Amino acid sequence: WGRYAGGPAFLARLTAGGDPAASLLAAPSTDPVTDWPRLLADAAAAALAGRRGAVLVVPDGRDVARVEEALTQRLGKGHHVRLTADQGPQARYTAYLKVLRGHVRVVVGTRAAAFAPVHDLGLVAWWDDGDDLHDEPRSPYPTVREVARLRAGLEGAALLSAGFTRTTAVAQWAAEGLVVPLEAERPLLRKVVARVRVAGEGSDLARDPAAARAHLPSVAWQVAREALTRGPVLVQVPRRGYLPSLSCQDCRRPARCGVCAGPLGLRGPGQPPTCRWCGAVETRFECSHCGSPRLRSSVVGARRTAEELGRAFPGVPLSTSGSGAVVDRVDARPRLVISTPGAEPVAEDGYAACLLLDAWALLDRPSLDAAEETLRRWMGAVGLTRGAADGGVAVLAGTPTHTTVPALEALVRWDPAWFSERELAERVELGLPPAARVATLTGARAALRSAVSEMRLGPSVRVLGPLPLDAETERMVLSAPLADGPALAAEVAAMRARRSARKETQPVTARLDPRDPAR
C-alpha cells in the first residue's frame, strides 16, 4: 500500500474504525507481496486490527483462490472463509454459519458473498468492477458495486473498489467525491508495467506495411521468439473456436447462411462452413452480393491461432485456456499460452511477453461499454506480464489505423484514470449511463405498450423504442436525469405492482441501470 499516494492513510483510517471510501488503481506486479490479492488481504487485516470484519468480492473461483492464498499468508489459517457456488451445499452452509455466528470475520467469494452476514462489518471491497460476473443475471439483478455501496453506507464500513482499470460508474463516484482515487506514481508505473508496442506504428510500418492489419504481424513473431528464451509468452485471442467468421474472398462481404442468413464459420480444419445460428452446413457457398464461391477468414479463433503458432515454433510447449478448459497457472518455463480474454493463467514470475491480437475485434463490438471492456481485457493481460524493468514487452496487433483510439492510448501510457474520465465526460454530454438513470422494459409488443401507457412519466424522461429483439419480444428504454432517477424507479416499481395485482399473463421484465441498455 505504500506504493500508492494515500494508501497508508486509507489503512490507518480503516484500522482506527473509520469509513474511508476509495477507488484503487492497482499497479501490476509479479511479486506476490505487492500483487493485488495481497492488497486486499492487507486491507482485511487492517479491518481486523480495528476489531471489525471484512467482505472481499472477486469475479470468479480462480480469483478467490488467489485471494485465499494471500489471506492465509497474511492472517494465518482459520481466519477467513470462502463463499462460492462450486463449494457444494454442505461446505457453503458450514462457512455461512461460521460467519453468521461470528466465528470468522473475513469472507472472500464471488458476487453472492457481498450479502454475507459479517459481524461488525468494517470493510467491503471488490476487485475488477468492470467484470460482468459481478452482475446477478436473476431478478432483481443486483450488482456487487451497488450492494457494496449500500452495505457500507448502512453499516458505517469502509468501501474499496480496486482494479487495473476504473469503470465509468466508479469514475462518477470519484467526480462526485464519494470515493478518493488511489493511484501509483508515474516513475513506479514505468518500471512495473510492460513496455507496449503497437504493430504497424513507427519503424514497423516501413518494414512491414501490412503489420497493422495482420493477425500475427512480424513484430509479434520477433518479440515472441526472443521472449521464449526467457520464459512463457501469453497470446490473447478475442474469439474462441477455429475460424468463427468467414467472408467472401472477392468482395469481403460477410458470408451468410443460405437458410437463415446467419454468419458462417469453420469449426475445425477440413470441415465445411457451418452456420453459427442454425447449424446448417453450407456445401456450395455462393456470395449473395457478387456470386463468388470463394471464402476467406475474417476472424481467427484461438484454436487456429494455436495451430499457426505450433507450426511457427516447433518444439515449444503450447497450452490453451478458454471456455472449454481454463488453466489456472503455468510455471516459469518457456511455453506459448493461447488464451481468450478472461481465461489467462497466472504465470510464475510473470510472462516474458504478451501478444494482444485482433484488437479491432474487441473494439468493434456494438456495445456501450466496448472501449471500456476492451481496455479492461488488455490491461488484465498486460498486468500478468513482467514489468519493463525486467524486460517485459506487450505487442498490440490489429489496431485501426484510420482513427485515434482512446483505449489504445490509455494502454500505451498505462493511464486508466484518464480514459475513465474521458469516457465519463462523453456519456455526460450524451446523457448516457451512468450520467443518467435508465430502465429497460422487455416483453411482448402489446404488453409492453400497455405497461408504458399506464406509467406516469415526467417530462424529463426519454422513451426510446420499441426495439425488436426477436419475432415476439421487444424492448423499450426509459432514460431520466439523475435528479429524476428516484421518481423513475418508483414508477417502474408501481407499474410492476399493478401488473402483478391484475395477474397479467404476458410478463414485462424491468431492469434498472443495466450495464448495457441494448443487451
Name which of 50, 48, 57, 58 is nearest 78 in CA terms.
48
Question: Which sign does the torsion angle of CA 122, 127, 128, 131 carry?
Answer: negative
Name which of 18, 5, 248 is nearest 123 in CA terms.
18
Fold observed for domain 194-240+301-413: Rossmann fold (3.40.50)
What pairs with residue 454 in β-bridges? Answer: none
**Residue 328 reports pLDDT greater than 80:** yes
Q: pLDDT tens for residues 183-242?
A: 999 999 999 999 999 987 666 555 665 655 666 788 888 999 999 999 999 999 888 777
Q: How far is CA 314 from CA 311, 318, 337, in A?
A: 6, 10, 14
Phi-psi region for residue 155, left (φ > 0), alpha (ψ -120 to 50) or beta? alpha
Domains of the chain by residue range: 7-189, 194-240+301-413, 242-299, 436-512
Same fold, 7-189 and 436-512: no
Cis peptide upstream of residue 459 (ω within 30 degrees of 0): no
The CATH number given to 7-189 is 3.40.50.300
* The residue to which cell 474504525 is assigned: 17
Q: pLDDT tens for residues 113-156?
A: 999 999 999 999 999 999 999 999 998 899 999 999 999 999 99
Listed in sequence order, the residues at least 6 apart from 458 whose beta carbon sits closer than 8 Å to its beta carbon are 480, 484, 487, 488
Q: What is the pLDDT of residue 186?
A: 94
The rounded distance, in Å, linking the Cα atoms of 64 and 95 is: 14
The rounded distance, in Å, linking the Cα atoms of 344 and 238 is: 12
Q: By three-state DSSP, how is residue 447 classified?
A: helix
34-52 per-residue burial string, b: 16 or more CB within 10 A, e: under 16: bbbbbbbbbbbbbbbebeb
The CATH number given to 436-512 is 3.30.70
The rounded distance, in Å, linking the Cα atoms of 413 and 196 is: 8
Backbone φ and ψ of 459, nearest 5°: -65, -20
Query: Mean of the per-residue pLDDT values for the chain?
Result: 90
How many helices and strands, by DSSP H and E, does the chain display? Answer: 16, 23
Q: pLDDT tens for residues 397-409?
A: 888 766 788 999 9
pLDDT category at 278 given cuts 50, 70, 90 is: confident
* The residue to which cell 501469453 is assigned: 234
Average pLDDT over residues 463-475: 85
Give percent of the chain above pLDDT 90. Answer: 62
Listed in sequence order, the residues at least 6 apart from 4 whose beta carbon sits closer than 8 Å to its beta carbon are 24, 27, 182, 183, 184
Q: What is the pLDDT of residue 207?
A: 62
pLDDT category at 298 given cuts 50, 70, 90 is: low
The rounded distance, in Å, linking the Cα atoms of 370 and 341 is: 13
* The residue to which cell 470462502 is assigned: 82
The rounded distance, in Å, linking the Cα atoms of 171 and 162 is: 12
Q: For the residues of 263-281, what is the DSSP string, one character each?
A: BEEBSSTTPPPEETTT--B
